[in-house]
Amino acid sequence: MVYKNGQQNQGIVFFPEGSNVGITTYAEDFYRMYKEGISFPSIIERYKEMIDEAKGEMQFAKNIQIFEAKKEDIIPAFVPKESLEIKPELAHVPFENLEIIFRWNIPGTEYSVKLPEEYFNHHQIEPKQFLEELINDPSFKDQTEVFSISRLFETGDTEIPKEQEMYCVTNQNKNWGAASILNKDIMDEVADFFGGKTYILPSSIHECLAVDTHVYTVEELKTMVRDINSKPDLVGADFLSNEVYVYDSYTRELKLAGEQRTKEIQNPEKQEPIKR
């Protein structure tokens, strides 16, 4: 059993001979194809295609020198806590109902790999200490991007009220960027724009959404998040969490949101967060 989209699935793991790097496929995906009327030979052919596509990546991952990873090429990444139950060898730091892992973006390639505990043992540093150094390093901070969701959709002359605006927080690559909310300098700007606090919606492992705490209750936002996450075609393996978080620029604290609407703070001259 493995976790996908926050639920247990029947995982089929393929390992090339002599390799400790594999690819996980899911029996539920193939069963869905069967229910849609796809023939067994076609399903088997699709499975073979998936394995063939992954072989090159697995061979590459097998040969990389992971101890050579440098801090400026490493990013923190959020994953669901339950996803680590089958991967205890990965270095991780607990965060609320999530875990923070570390991904090495291999220079000169489009590949990234998860760093194991062995990497940190080799460099004689605790993952928690490394995380503190990493999120305060320019190599992490300078990658953060913030932009309004409305700008992704041309609305003509229709202007969305600022208090109803949602801001996407991610990284420049738009890949594994949800942990960009660990950038407190940026989150201070976002929260101050909304009056001192902002609710954070875990859109996926790749980005989060920041919204005004005065417009929706936590329960309304949780319902919104769960409705989105209930559609596997939209989220799939990118699922992060069904919870809602809150960031306070005064305490500089990021945590799970409570059940009460925050008290409105008058802030008539809001300045939009700096776009990165």
pLDDT per residue over 66-88, tens digit each? 888 999 999 999 999 887 765 66
pTM of the model: 0.72
209 has pLDDT over 90: yes
Q: Which long-range contacts (CB under 8 A, 24 or more apart) does 53-60 make?
A: 54/14, 54/23, 55/16, 57/111, 58/16, 58/19, 58/21, 58/22, 58/23, 59/16, 59/19, 60/109, 60/111
125 has pLDDT over 90: yes
The three-class DSSP label of residue 194 is: coil
* Between 41 and 230, the higher pLDDT residue: 41
11 has pLDDT over 90: no
pLDDT band at 186 (very low <50, low <70, confident <90, very high): very high
Average pLDDT over residues 94-112: 87
pLDDT band at 142 (very low <50, low <70, confident <90, very high): very high
pLDDT band at 17 (very low <50, low <70, confident <90, very high): low
Q: What is the pLDDT of residue 178?
A: 95
Q: Is the dihedral of CA 253, 256, 262, 265 positive or negative?
A: positive
CA–CA gap between residue 264 and residue 73 (Å, rounded)? 40
CA–CA gap between residue 235 and residue 170 (Å, rounded)? 16
CA–CA gap between residue 178 and residue 246 (Å, rounded)? 14
**Nearest by Cα to 106 from 179, 164, 57:** 57
pLDDT band at 57 (very low <50, low <70, confident <90, very high): low
pLDDT band at 10 (very low <50, low <70, confident <90, very high): low
pLDDT per residue over 216-243, tens digit each? 889 999 998 888 777 655 545 688 999 9
* Between 41 and 32, the higher pLDDT residue: 41
For the chain, domain boundaries: 2-63, 67-138, 143-256
Q: What is the pLDDT of residue 180?
A: 96
CA–CA gap between residue 10 and residue 86 (Å, rounded)? 13
Tokens at 212, concatenated:
């005004």
Average pLDDT over residues 33-42: 81
